[in-house]
Amino acid sequence: MSVYDYSARSIKGEPVSLSAYRGKVLVIVNTASKCGFTPQYEGLEALYQQYRDQGLEILGFPCDQFGGQEPGSDAEVEAFCKLNYGVTFPLFEKTLVRGPEAAPLFHYLTDQAPFEGFDTQTPGGAKMQAFLQEKLPEYYEGDGIKWNFTKFLVDREGRVVGRFESTVDPASLSSRIEALL
């Protein structure tokens, strides 16, 4: 199995087989428009602009599972991303990414790249870990996605080669992306 065995619906509702991205390096990320990490859209778009001609695709999956931070319709999400962050990378329909009802793609991603913890040496990592352990301990347990803007790096063969939690800035993925291009 690889990510190419999955499909999703574009933000406009059109079916998309991820096999359409065969041979590309992918960053697959669950997003939200009203989250403290929402400014990461800017960093994701910067990565896309820098590396897309070399074969990078960023696939954004809006999700409303974490604090109701993606309340709008798909059309509203798309407009927000374009207007506020100039997003040009592909966006998909709002998607469940955690729990038994999660989209099969996200079950696959979390199976392939288990949760390894937050970098508690960073203020954001320590804060996120403490927040989840105190307020949402059921989210902290296991390998499920912990919050918005969890990023999965996929190589040109469709294999998941990295998982980066919400607190990881998109720019820090540059060297890993370059190594795969």
Residue 152: enclosing H or E segment and its boundaries? strand 151-154
SS (HEC) of 84-132? HHCCCCCEECCCCCCCCCCCHHHHHHHHHCCCCCCCCCCHHHHHHHHHH
* Cα–Cα separations (whole angstroms), residue 63 to 68, 102, 175: 9, 10, 27
**Catalytic residue numbers, as ranges:** 35
Q: Which two tokens stand for residue 11?
A: 């933000």
8-state DSSP, 171: G
Which amino acid belongs to residue 104? P
